[in-house]
Amino acid sequence: EAEVAQSPRYKITEKSQAVAFWCDPISGHATLYWYRQILGQGPELLVQFQDESVVDDSQLPKDRFSAERLKGVDSTLKIQPAELGDSAMYLCASSLAGVVYEQYFGPGTRLTVT
């Protein structure tokens, strides 16, 4: 069964350093989502792509976060510089085309900023 791949699974970084996460969605899925999840809370959408275009990045802290999906396939989320408050689980999900379809989630990247 096809799965969403994410790497790394765990990342420990010092504050002010740069960090990057990678996501490979299920083949054929046009929509890709990046979420941040703080322990004990629900996922919060950071950015949503439709193919290579950003559909929603209203909750993305653009002074330090950036995301790209250059060829409309895999995607990279970057944080520079990392802050202590960025410690969280970063989840990637994909769906066929938008919110009318179920989302398939990857295993996530757990980020710890020290």
Tell me the helices (H) and strands (E) count for the chain, helix number first: 0, 11
Smallest separation (angstroms) from other proteins to the CB of 81: 26
Structure tokens at 25: 């969605």
Q: How far apart are CA 32 and CA 13, in angstroms?
A: 25
Choice between 91 and 113, CB closer to other proteins: 91
Choice between 63 and 102, CB closer to other proteins: 102
Smallest separation (angstroms) from other proteins to the CB of 84: 20
33 binds other proteins (CB under 8 A): yes
